[in-house]
Amino acid sequence: MGKSDLKLLGLRASPFVNRVQFALNLKSLDYEFITENLPNKSELLLKSNPIHKKIPVLIHGDKPICESLVIVQYIDELWSDGPSILPADPYDRAIARFWAAYIDDKWFPALRQFRYSEGESRGELLEKLVEGVALLEDAFVKSCSKGKSFFGGENVGFLDLAFGCHLGWLRAVETIANVKILDKTKAPALAEWTERFTSHKAVKGTLPEPEELVNHHNKMMQAKAAAASQASK
């Protein structure tokens, strides 16, 4: 398949875009990456995702698919001859989807809020994040990995992508706030999984390094402060 058949609209710093990139890499699919300028969204993005107007969007031929978990499932179902992403067992598949929804609906929003938080709210959010890591450690050990290397067992799977795409920002936020969210003394299995996942060929080189994301964060904060200063004049 040529790159012209698959286009991914996104931004390198977006974990949800990274998630789709990992899935495409797992299936050894070539694609064209089209960088979006979110303050000035392209006509292609607005046309392809008129409901949410968000990235990522995968365009297959002339058909747009939106929302990262939906895109990952589309990739897995369509290119079924490559490594499976979703578990084959219906119960395991349901469990993976449950935890993926928890990560996107509960855990990552807390990480994003913590990144901008101050005072008492920062402590409360940190507690939520650490509790979430403990829950994921328990899920990895007791129900998902079955004693193997990844949430998906022997191979990287759906839940690995769902959580693993946030590791860049997790490490960046730890640097920004000078805290430890994923502590290897409290979540040893998850800490070891982190090293295996970030070293995987489908991930390495695609997941942004923490330093890059810290710089991205600092630029965003500077731009926000400049806009606020301009608006107050």
Q: pLDDT at position 232, please?
A: 73
pTM of the shown model = 0.94
Per-residue pLDDT of the chain (233 residues; tens, 9 = 90+): 555 699 999 999 999 999 999 999 999 999 999 999 999 999 999 999 999 999 999 999 999 999 999 999 999 999 999 899 999 999 999 999 999 999 999 999 999 999 988 888 899 999 999 999 999 999 999 999 999 999 999 999 999 999 999 999 999 999 999 999 999 999 999 999 999 999 999 999 999 999 999 999 999 888 888 877 777 76
Under CATH, what is the fold of the domain 90-212?
Glutathione S-transferase Yfyf (Class Pi); Chain A, domain 2 (1.20.1050)
Distance CA 8, CA 35 (A): 8
**What are the domain boundaries of the chain?**
3-78, 90-212
Q: pLDDT at position 2, please?
A: 54
Sorted by sequence, the CB contacts under 8 Å of residue 97 that are 6+ apart come out as 69, 158
Sorted by sequence, the CB contacts under 8 Å of residue 68 that are 6+ apart come out as 16, 17, 19, 20, 56, 165
Closest CA to 159 of 179, 176, 135, 180: 135
According to the 3-state scheme, what is the secondary structure of the chain?
A: CCHHHEEEEECCCCHHHHHHHHHHHHCCCCCEEEECCHHHCCHHHHHHCCCCCCCCEEEECCEEEECHHHHHHHHHHHCCCCCCCCCCCHHHHHHHHHHHHHHHHHHHHHHHHHHHCCCHHHHHHHHHHHHHHHHHHHHHHHHHCCCCCECCECCCCHHHHHHHCCHHHHHHHHHHHCCCCCCCCCCHHHHHHHHHHHHCCCCCCCCCCHHHHHHHHHHHHHHHHHHHHHHCC
Distance CA 191, CA 48 (A): 38
What CATH class has 3-78? alpha beta
